[in-house]
Amino acid sequence: MTRVYNFSAGPAMMPEAVLSRAREEMLDWQGSGMSVMEMSHRGKEFMSIASKAESDLRELLGIPTGYKVLFLQGGASAQFAMVPMNLLRGKGKADYINTGQWSKKAIAEARRYCEVNIAATAEAGKFTSIPARDTWQTDPDAAYLHYTPNETIGGVEFHWIPETGGVPLVADMSSTLLSRPLDVSRYGVIYAGAQKNIGPAGLTVVIVREDLMGEVLPGAPTLFDYQVMADNGSMYNTPPTYSWYLAGLVFEWLKGQGGLQAMAEINRRKAGKLYDLIDASDFYQNPVDPQCRSWMNVPFTLADADLDATFLEQAKAAGLLTLKGHRSVGGMRASIYNAMPEEGVDALVSFMKDFEQRHG
Ligand SMILES: *Cc1c(COP(=O)(O)O)cnc(C)c1O
């Protein structure tokens, strides 16, 4: 068996230790005589798996009391609708910050439910920077302010939390949650599709401040009501049990790595190695303002785009997969979430140096 270094933006690599543990437990979870995917979600075995996953996540992120953790389906894309449905609470407008492709998707969906005020946009600069906070045209009467702390496609990341003066702050953290410690108390809602930095696809983690629930838009589907899902322990209907279990194994693994402070140090170092190489070379380029470069997704281009196919082919032969950039931006992109070992980044860096020597 050979495992490659997979730089996919999502679904992305899982920690090998987690996959091995899942394999060991596949046919008979801890003497239950069945696989986790065959268990009743209401049985005591799965209930213990579910609550352990939640308590480990709470411990990792230091989630304060007064916040519910929901394990939902529908991906971050369903949250683009659930956020306005739940948070408008009688108001007709919300603020959005536009820093790239995922912001735009969130904005387009919100427009189905309310008036969207684009408080700031980086579109004029092709989404290579983040507008300074003091240029934002926020509305003090907005129901909430939504932003995308890490733009997975453009590789643009906030390394600070916006101040909103009491307006609930909502964040699509799909590609950055768990990459570093986080002050959850600054947020109204945090959501993330699991398939980047949490676990397998099919699970969406939502962290919601309790006082923001309970006033869902009339006519919204029952399953889209945060309050209903919270009251039912995310089990109003059958939850994505196996993904929930694997996410729990990832949370345990993260605790074993030393928690999010330790992950932050590793992630900063991993990203730094790639950006240092790119900046030191005339052959590779990253267009993002160094102040807001992502630790998780590193897009780069080659000086000669005609070499793209050769680069990808030779990288693949070297066991470095899925480096092709998003179709909307072209070039390359290395996604280096928690589960990408530092050795994988080292292997990519030496491949890139070698490629430059041969073709630069
Ligand atoms: C991947 C991603 C999404 C879409 O997630 P789905 O789970 O496919 O709906 C949304 N936002 C960000 C920031 C992402 O990285």
pLDDT at position 111 over 90? yes
| pLDDT tens by residue, 164-177 | 999 999 999 999 99
pLDDT the model gives residue 1 = 80
What is the distance, to the nearest Å, from the Cα of residue 189 to the centroid of all Cα atoms in its chain? Answer: 14
Q: Which of 68, 104, 196, 270 is catalytic?
A: 196
pLDDT the model gives residue 112 = 98
pLDDT the model gives residue 63 = 98
The dihedral of CA 37, 253, 173, 152: what is its sign? negative
Amino acid at 267: N
pLDDT at position 327 over 90? no
Does the pTM exceed 0.95?
A: yes
pLDDT at position 57 over 90? yes
- Rounded distance from Cα 264 to ligand 1 centre (Å): 21
Confidence label for 329 from pLDDT (cuts 50, 70 and 90): confident
Residues with Cβ within 8 Å of 324's Cβ and at least 6 positions away in sequence, in order, are 308, 312, 332, 333
Phi, psi dihedral angles at 208 (to 5 degrees): -130, 135
pLDDT at position 260 over 90? yes
pLDDT at position 341 over 90? yes
Short-list 15, 12, 333, 328, CA closest to 193: 12
- Rounded distance from Cα 80 to ligand 1 centre (Å): 10
Is 77 close to ligand 1, i.e. is its CB under 6 Å away?
Answer: yes
Q: To test ligand 1's pocket by mutation, which of 71, 72, 73, 77 has the most ligand atoms within 8 angstroms of CB?
A: 77
Domains of the chain plus CATH, in order, are 16-256 (3.40.640.10), 259-359 (3.90.1150.10)
pLDDT at position 302 over 90? yes
Specify the ligand 1 atom closest to the Cα of 148. 13
pLDDT the model gives residue 360 = 83
Is 8 close to ligand 1, i.e. is its CB under 6 Å away?
Answer: no
Confidence label for 52 from pLDDT (cuts 50, 70 and 90): very high
pLDDT at position 328 over 90? no
196 is catalytic: yes
In the three-class reduction of DSSP (H, G, I as helix; E, B as strand; rest coil), residue 150 is classed as strand
pLDDT at position 297 over 90? yes
- Rounded distance from Cα 174 to ligand 1 centre (Å): 6
DSSP string across 271-314: HHHHHHHHHH-SSEE--S-GGGB-SSEEEEEESSGGGHHHHHHH
